[in-house]
Amino acid sequence: MGALRDAVADLADDVFFDLLESESAYLYVVDLPGVTDDSVTVEATADRLVIDASREKPDAGEYSYVEEHRPTLVDVDLPLPDDASADGLEVTVDRGILEVVVPREPERYETTIDVAEGRGRRAATDDDAGGDSTTDPDDPTDPDTTDAEPR
């Protein structure tokens, strides 16, 4: 019986959840036995899903507790995927099963940009002899040669 108690004690800190995904959202399914919609709050930050829940301890009736491993307060801190949006969460709880729908942000990093053929700002002509200077040393009005000192 001692091994069973040790195994049960190890489970006390574990929160069982599934993370599912679709093209537009993620779905967290979290087991929170005894939790109702009045006893749970869900918050999302930029990278975390924070769940605070409480449950009432049932009346043991003719029994008395030998050990308690089901907490009455549960704090769950789950990571959010990189493309999850903290805005627009949909949260439901039914018979101790909490479902949180987290929208996905539109893809930000994969954008196709059409490239048009043309001459850029520094387009060279076929007549250029390979020089990259656009100044004319014989033009006295050229700003690059006006203030130049003779060599």
Residue 23 has pLDDT above 90, yes or no: yes
pTM: 0.60
Please give the pLDDT value at position 108. Answer: 61
Please give the pLDDT value at position 133. Answer: 54
Domain ranges of the chain: 18-55+68-103
- pLDDT level of residue 137 (50, 70, 90 thresholds): low
Please give the pLDDT value at position 98. Answer: 96
List pLDDT tens digits, range 74-132.
899 999 999 999 899 999 999 999 999 999 987 665 667 788 888 766 655 555 555 55
Please give the pLDDT value at position 126. Answer: 52
| DSSP state string for 118-141 | ---TTPPPTT--S------TT-TT
The hierarchical CATH code for the domain 18-55+68-103 is 2.60.40.790
Please give the pLDDT value at position 125. Answer: 53
Q: What is the mean pLDDT of the chain?
A: 79
* Cα 121 from Cα 126, distance rounded (Å): 15
Residue 61 has pLDDT above 70, yes or no: yes
* Cα 63 from Cα 52, distance rounded (Å): 29
